[in-house]
Amino acid sequence: MVNIGSAATRLWEQIQLATAQQTGTEFAPLRTRSYKDTETGIRKHITAAKRVKQWWFTAENGKLIVNVRYGTRLIELAKGKTAVEVASTDQLVPTLELLKRAVEAGELDVQIAAASEKLRDGFGK
C-alpha cells in the first residue's frame, strides 16, 4: 500500500512555501523531536522549526521547473519525465495544487510506490 498521506503532506508544504514566498512572508512548520537527556536519562520533547526545501528552480529560459519528490527520490510524472515546466511564478501554486490533487486521486500511486521501494532498498530493507 502506498502512503499518499506523506506525499500529499509534502505537496501541501510546498504550496504553503510558494504562497509565503509570493506574499513575502515566512513559512516555518513546527515539528516535535524527542531526545534522551544524557544527565538524567529521561526522554524529553522539544518543538523546532522544520526545514522545507523548495522543489522548484528557475531554468536558463526563465521558466520554473517543478520536481515532485518522495524522500530524496524524484517521482516520474510521465515516462522519462520527472519535472513540470511552469511559465511564471503566478502558475506555481496552481500547478502544485494540481499535483496534490493527482496524488490524492491515486494517479501517482505506482510512481510513489516505485520511489518508496528504491528508498527502502537504500536502507538495506
| Alpha-carbon gap, residue 120 to 97, rounded angstroms | 27
- The predicted pLDDT at position 71 comes to 80
Domain that holds residue 17: 4-122
Interacting residues of 114 by C-beta distance below 8 A, sequence separation 6+ = 76
| Alpha-carbon gap, residue 9 to 30, rounded angstroms | 13
**Number of domain units in the chain:** 1
Tell me the mean pLDDT per 10 residues along the chain, length 125: 71 95 93 91 93 93 90 85 91 94 88 80 69
Question: Which candidate, 49, 97, 87, 70, places its Cα nearest to that of 6?
Answer: 70
